[in-house]
Structure 1
Amino acid sequence: MSVGLTITRTIAAPPERVFAAWTRPEDFSVWFGGNAVDVPTESVLMDVRVDGRWTAVMHVPDGSEIYWHGRYTEVDPPRRLAFTMDDDPASDTLEPVVVTFAPAAGGTEMRLTQPRDDLTNEQLAQTLLGYNSFFDTMEILLAGRD
Protein backbone atom coordinates (compact mmCIF):
# COMPACT_ATOMS: atom_id res chain seq x y z
CA MET A 1 0.00 0.00 0.00
CA SER A 2 1.30 3.44 -0.89
CA VAL A 3 0.52 5.32 2.30
CA GLY A 4 -0.90 8.73 1.65
CA LEU A 5 -1.86 9.69 5.16
CA THR A 6 -2.25 8.31 8.65
CA ILE A 7 -4.41 9.89 11.33
CA THR A 8 -4.48 8.68 14.94
CA ARG A 9 -7.14 9.86 17.38
CA THR A 10 -8.19 8.78 20.84
CA ILE A 11 -11.98 8.70 20.97
CA ALA A 12 -13.70 8.72 24.39
CA ALA A 13 -15.74 5.56 23.77
CA PRO A 14 -15.05 1.81 23.84
CA PRO A 15 -13.73 0.11 20.67
CA GLU A 16 -17.07 -1.61 20.01
CA ARG A 17 -18.86 1.75 19.92
CA VAL A 18 -16.24 3.45 17.74
CA PHE A 19 -16.30 0.49 15.32
CA ALA A 20 -20.11 0.76 15.23
CA ALA A 21 -19.82 4.44 14.26
CA TRP A 22 -18.12 3.26 11.07
CA THR A 23 -20.61 0.49 10.31
CA ARG A 24 -24.07 1.77 11.31
CA PRO A 25 -25.73 4.10 8.77
CA GLU A 26 -27.42 6.13 11.52
CA ASP A 27 -24.00 6.96 13.02
CA PHE A 28 -21.98 7.18 9.80
CA SER A 29 -24.42 9.70 8.30
CA VAL A 30 -23.90 12.01 11.30
CA TRP A 31 -20.10 12.24 11.26
CA PHE A 32 -19.11 11.46 7.65
CA GLY A 33 -18.68 14.89 6.12
CA GLY A 34 -18.42 16.68 9.44
CA ASN A 35 -20.63 19.68 10.02
CA ALA A 36 -19.98 21.12 6.56
CA VAL A 37 -22.10 18.68 4.55
CA ASP A 38 -25.29 16.68 4.85
CA VAL A 39 -25.29 12.91 4.41
CA PRO A 40 -28.89 11.68 4.55
CA THR A 41 -29.16 8.44 6.54
CA GLU A 42 -31.26 6.90 3.76
CA SER A 43 -28.36 7.44 1.32
CA VAL A 44 -26.03 5.27 3.41
CA LEU A 45 -26.13 1.59 2.54
CA MET A 46 -23.72 -0.77 4.30
CA ASP A 47 -23.32 -4.50 3.74
CA VAL A 48 -20.61 -4.90 6.38
CA ARG A 49 -18.91 -8.15 5.39
CA VAL A 50 -15.90 -8.99 3.24
CA ASP A 51 -16.82 -8.10 -0.36
CA GLY A 52 -19.95 -6.32 0.87
CA ARG A 53 -20.62 -2.91 -0.67
CA TRP A 54 -21.22 0.49 0.91
CA THR A 55 -22.52 3.76 -0.52
CA ALA A 56 -23.20 7.26 0.81
CA VAL A 57 -24.24 10.56 -0.78
CA MET A 58 -22.80 13.87 0.44
CA HIS A 59 -24.79 17.04 -0.19
CA VAL A 60 -22.18 19.80 -0.18
CA PRO A 61 -22.83 23.52 0.49
CA ASP A 62 -22.47 24.53 -3.18
CA GLY A 63 -25.50 22.36 -4.00
CA SER A 64 -23.58 19.52 -5.61
CA GLU A 65 -23.58 15.90 -4.52
CA ILE A 66 -20.73 13.44 -4.10
CA TYR A 67 -21.56 9.76 -4.51
CA TRP A 68 -19.18 7.65 -2.43
CA HIS A 69 -18.92 3.91 -2.88
CA GLY A 70 -16.66 1.00 -2.07
CA ARG A 71 -16.45 -2.50 -0.74
CA TYR A 72 -15.24 -3.99 2.50
CA THR A 73 -11.98 -5.94 2.26
CA GLU A 74 -11.59 -6.76 5.98
CA VAL A 75 -14.15 -6.81 8.76
CA ASP A 76 -12.81 -7.77 12.20
CA PRO A 77 -15.01 -6.13 14.85
CA PRO A 78 -14.04 -4.27 16.94
CA ARG A 79 -10.37 -4.30 15.95
CA ARG A 80 -10.06 -3.59 12.23
CA LEU A 81 -12.05 -2.39 9.25
CA ALA A 82 -10.73 -2.03 5.70
CA PHE A 83 -12.67 -0.77 2.73
CA THR A 84 -12.20 0.78 -0.66
CA MET A 85 -13.50 4.29 -1.16
CA ASP A 86 -14.12 6.18 -4.38
CA ASP A 87 -16.20 9.14 -5.49
CA ASP A 88 -16.06 8.20 -9.19
CA PRO A 89 -18.95 5.86 -10.08
CA ALA A 90 -16.99 4.57 -13.07
CA SER A 91 -14.02 3.35 -11.05
CA ASP A 92 -13.22 1.03 -8.21
CA THR A 93 -10.22 1.87 -6.03
CA LEU A 94 -8.19 -1.24 -5.26
CA GLU A 95 -6.15 -0.18 -2.24
CA PRO A 96 -8.26 0.02 0.92
CA VAL A 97 -8.52 2.58 3.65
CA VAL A 98 -7.64 0.73 6.89
CA VAL A 99 -9.01 1.73 10.29
CA THR A 100 -7.82 0.03 13.46
CA PHE A 101 -9.37 0.31 16.91
CA ALA A 102 -7.43 -0.44 20.09
CA PRO A 103 -8.31 0.09 23.76
CA ALA A 104 -6.46 3.11 25.12
CA ALA A 105 -6.48 5.29 28.21
CA GLY A 106 -9.60 7.40 27.88
CA GLY A 107 -11.29 5.24 25.24
CA THR A 108 -10.15 3.93 21.87
CA GLU A 109 -7.13 4.68 19.77
CA MET A 110 -8.48 4.88 16.23
CA ARG A 111 -5.90 4.90 13.44
CA LEU A 112 -6.85 5.52 9.83
CA THR A 113 -4.42 4.86 7.01
CA GLN A 114 -5.38 5.87 3.49
CA PRO A 115 -3.40 5.08 0.36
CA ARG A 116 -2.11 7.94 -1.74
CA ASP A 117 -3.63 6.58 -4.97
CA ASP A 118 -3.40 9.42 -7.50
CA LEU A 119 -3.92 12.26 -5.04
CA THR A 120 -1.78 15.37 -5.40
CA ASN A 121 -0.08 16.87 -2.34
CA GLU A 122 -2.80 19.54 -2.24
CA GLN A 123 -5.56 16.90 -2.39
CA LEU A 124 -3.87 14.93 0.40
CA ALA A 125 -3.74 18.08 2.54
CA GLN A 126 -7.45 18.70 1.90
CA THR A 127 -8.24 15.05 2.69
CA LEU A 128 -6.38 15.37 6.00
CA LEU A 129 -8.36 18.51 6.89
CA GLY A 130 -11.58 16.75 5.92
CA TYR A 131 -10.94 13.67 8.01
CA ASN A 132 -10.00 15.76 11.03
CA SER A 133 -13.30 17.65 10.70
CA PHE A 134 -15.16 14.35 10.35
CA PHE A 135 -13.47 12.94 13.45
CA ASP A 136 -14.23 16.10 15.46
CA THR A 137 -17.90 15.43 14.68
CA MET A 138 -17.48 11.73 15.58
CA GLU A 139 -16.05 12.70 18.97
CA ILE A 140 -19.13 14.83 19.67
CA LEU A 141 -21.44 12.03 18.49
CA LEU A 142 -19.77 9.46 20.77
CA ALA A 143 -19.16 11.70 23.81
CA GLY A 144 -20.51 10.02 26.89
CA ARG A 145 -22.01 7.06 25.02
CA ASP A 146 -21.18 3.42 25.63
Structure 2
Amino acid sequence: MTVGLTITRTIAAPPERVFAAWTRPEDFAGWFGGDAVKVPADTVVMDVRPGGRWTAEMRVPDGSTIYWHGRYTEVDPPRRLAFTMDDDPASDTTDPVVVTFAPAAGGTEMRLTQPRDDLTDEQLGQTLIGYNSFFDSMEILLAGRD
Protein backbone atom coordinates (compact mmCIF):
# COMPACT_ATOMS: atom_id res chain seq x y z
CA MET A 1 0.00 0.00 0.00
CA THR A 2 1.31 3.43 -0.93
CA VAL A 3 0.10 5.83 1.74
CA GLY A 4 -1.62 8.82 0.24
CA LEU A 5 -2.39 10.69 3.41
CA THR A 6 -2.24 10.45 7.17
CA ILE A 7 -4.38 12.51 9.52
CA THR A 8 -3.97 12.50 13.29
CA ARG A 9 -6.54 14.05 15.62
CA THR A 10 -7.09 14.00 19.35
CA ILE A 11 -10.80 13.51 20.01
CA ALA A 12 -12.18 14.37 23.46
CA ALA A 13 -13.77 10.98 24.09
CA PRO A 14 -12.51 7.55 25.18
CA PRO A 15 -11.23 5.12 22.52
CA GLU A 16 -14.31 2.90 22.86
CA ARG A 17 -16.60 5.83 22.03
CA VAL A 18 -14.49 7.05 19.08
CA PHE A 19 -14.32 3.51 17.70
CA ALA A 20 -18.12 3.30 18.04
CA ALA A 21 -18.48 6.52 16.01
CA TRP A 22 -16.92 4.60 13.11
CA THR A 23 -18.96 1.43 13.58
CA ARG A 24 -22.47 2.47 14.68
CA PRO A 25 -24.62 3.53 11.71
CA GLU A 26 -26.42 6.32 13.62
CA ASP A 27 -23.08 7.83 14.71
CA PHE A 28 -21.39 7.37 11.32
CA ALA A 29 -24.31 9.13 9.62
CA GLY A 30 -23.89 12.04 12.04
CA TRP A 31 -20.32 12.92 11.05
CA PHE A 32 -19.44 11.28 7.72
CA GLY A 33 -19.75 14.02 5.14
CA GLY A 34 -19.21 16.96 7.50
CA ASP A 35 -21.67 19.85 7.68
CA ALA A 36 -22.23 20.33 3.94
CA VAL A 37 -23.35 16.80 3.14
CA LYS A 38 -26.16 14.62 4.45
CA VAL A 39 -25.83 10.90 5.09
CA PRO A 40 -29.27 9.57 6.00
CA ALA A 41 -28.88 7.04 8.83
CA ASP A 42 -31.21 4.60 7.06
CA THR A 43 -28.73 4.37 4.17
CA VAL A 44 -25.84 3.25 6.39
CA VAL A 45 -25.41 -0.51 6.63
CA MET A 46 -22.47 -1.92 8.61
CA ASP A 47 -21.54 -5.56 9.10
CA VAL A 48 -18.56 -4.81 11.35
CA ARG A 49 -16.46 -7.96 11.17
CA PRO A 50 -13.54 -9.01 8.97
CA GLY A 51 -15.04 -9.63 5.54
CA GLY A 52 -18.25 -7.78 6.43
CA ARG A 53 -19.51 -5.11 4.05
CA TRP A 54 -20.55 -1.51 4.67
CA THR A 55 -22.50 0.96 2.54
CA ALA A 56 -23.63 4.57 2.92
CA GLU A 57 -25.29 7.16 0.70
CA MET A 58 -23.86 10.67 0.73
CA ARG A 59 -26.28 13.34 -0.53
CA VAL A 60 -24.29 16.34 -1.73
CA PRO A 61 -25.58 19.92 -2.07
CA ASP A 62 -25.80 19.77 -5.89
CA GLY A 63 -28.50 17.11 -5.53
CA SER A 64 -26.36 14.15 -6.52
CA THR A 65 -25.77 11.05 -4.42
CA ILE A 66 -22.47 9.27 -3.85
CA TYR A 67 -22.82 5.57 -3.07
CA TRP A 68 -19.96 4.51 -0.79
CA HIS A 69 -19.16 0.86 -0.19
CA GLY A 70 -16.42 -1.31 1.15
CA ARG A 71 -15.39 -4.31 3.19
CA TYR A 72 -13.90 -4.52 6.66
CA THR A 73 -10.45 -6.12 6.63
CA GLU A 74 -9.55 -5.72 10.34
CA VAL A 75 -11.76 -5.10 13.36
CA ASP A 76 -9.92 -4.84 16.69
CA PRO A 77 -12.08 -2.75 19.04
CA PRO A 78 -11.22 -0.22 20.32
CA ARG A 79 -7.69 -0.11 18.87
CA ARG A 80 -7.85 -0.57 15.10
CA LEU A 81 -10.29 -0.58 12.22
CA ALA A 82 -9.36 -1.22 8.59
CA PHE A 83 -11.75 -1.17 5.66
CA THR A 84 -11.85 -0.64 1.94
CA MET A 85 -13.71 2.37 0.63
CA ASP A 86 -14.89 3.14 -2.88
CA ASP A 87 -17.51 5.33 -4.54
CA ASP A 88 -17.53 3.38 -7.80
CA PRO A 89 -20.14 0.60 -7.68
CA ALA A 90 -18.23 -1.36 -10.34
CA SER A 91 -15.00 -1.27 -8.34
CA ASP A 92 -13.83 -3.08 -5.25
CA THR A 93 -10.71 -1.37 -3.90
CA THR A 94 -8.36 -3.73 -2.10
CA ASP A 95 -6.05 -1.34 -0.19
CA PRO A 96 -7.71 -0.48 3.12
CA VAL A 97 -8.11 2.77 4.97
CA VAL A 98 -6.67 2.14 8.45
CA VAL A 99 -7.83 3.98 11.56
CA THR A 100 -6.09 3.48 14.91
CA PHE A 101 -7.32 4.64 18.30
CA ALA A 102 -5.02 5.14 21.30
CA PRO A 103 -5.61 6.69 24.72
CA ALA A 104 -4.14 10.19 24.85
CA ALA A 105 -4.21 13.21 27.12
CA GLY A 106 -7.62 14.74 26.58
CA GLY A 107 -9.20 11.66 24.98
CA THR A 108 -8.19 9.51 22.02
CA GLU A 109 -5.51 9.92 19.41
CA MET A 110 -7.18 8.85 16.19
CA ARG A 111 -4.90 8.29 13.20
CA LEU A 112 -6.24 7.63 9.71
CA THR A 113 -4.07 6.47 6.84
CA GLN A 114 -5.46 6.12 3.35
CA PRO A 115 -3.74 4.71 0.29
CA ARG A 116 -3.12 7.01 -2.64
CA ASP A 117 -4.58 4.58 -5.17
CA ASP A 118 -5.03 6.56 -8.40
CA LEU A 119 -5.75 9.94 -6.79
CA THR A 120 -4.14 13.00 -8.36
CA ASP A 121 -2.40 15.53 -6.10
CA GLU A 122 -5.49 17.75 -6.38
CA GLN A 123 -7.84 14.90 -5.45
CA LEU A 124 -5.62 13.97 -2.52
CA GLY A 125 -5.73 17.59 -1.32
CA GLN A 126 -9.54 17.62 -1.57
CA THR A 127 -9.70 14.31 0.31
CA LEU A 128 -7.63 15.82 3.12
CA ILE A 129 -9.96 18.84 3.31
CA GLY A 130 -12.97 16.50 3.32
CA TYR A 131 -11.67 14.29 6.11
CA ASN A 132 -10.81 17.28 8.27
CA SER A 133 -14.36 18.57 7.82
CA PHE A 134 -15.73 15.13 8.70
CA PHE A 135 -13.58 14.95 11.82
CA ASP A 136 -14.69 18.45 12.88
CA SER A 137 -18.25 17.07 12.79
CA MET A 138 -17.17 13.98 14.72
CA GLU A 139 -15.70 16.16 17.47
CA ILE A 140 -19.02 18.01 17.78
CA LEU A 141 -20.96 14.74 17.80
CA LEU A 142 -18.81 13.25 20.54
CA ALA A 143 -18.48 16.40 22.69
CA GLY A 144 -19.66 15.60 26.17
CA ARG A 145 -20.62 11.99 25.40
CA ASP A 146 -19.23 8.77 26.83
TM over 0.5: yes
Which runs of no fewer than 5 residues in structure 2 stay unpaired? none
Tell me the number of residue pairs that the alignment of Structure 1 and Structure 2 aligns: 146
Report the RMSD for the aligned CA atoms in angstroms. Answer: 0.2
Does residue 33 of structure 2 align to residue 33 of structure 1? yes
Cα distance in 1 for residues equivalent to 2:24 and 2:84: 17
Post-superposition CA distance 1:54-103 (Å, at most 9, x none): 00000000000000000000000000000000000000000000000000
Task: Write out the 4+ residue segments of structure 1 that deviate beyond 2 Å after TM superposition.
Answer: none
Q: Which residue number in structure 2 is paired with residue 144 of structure 1?
A: 144
Q: Which residue number in structure 2 is paired with residue 60 of structure 1?
A: 60
Q: Equivalences for 1:58-137 in 2 at 5 Å?
A: 58-137=58-137
SS at match of 2:111: strand
Cα distance in 1 for residues equivalent to 2:104 and 2:28: 22
Cα distance in 2 for residues equivalent to 1:144 and 1:65: 32
Q: Which residue identity lines up with residue 95 of structure 2 in the other structure?
A: E
SS at match of 1:33: coil
Q: TM-score normalised to the size of structure 2?
A: 1.00
SS at match of 2:42: helix
Shift of 1:5: 0.1
Cα distance in 2 for residues equivalent to 1:13 and 1:27: 14
Cα distance in 2 for residues equivalent to 1:77 and 1:36: 29
Q: TM-score normalised to the size of structure 1?
A: 1.00
Shift of 1:124: 0.2
SS at match of 2:26: helix
SS at match of 2:133: helix
Cα distance in 2 for residues equivalent to 1:84 and 1:36: 23
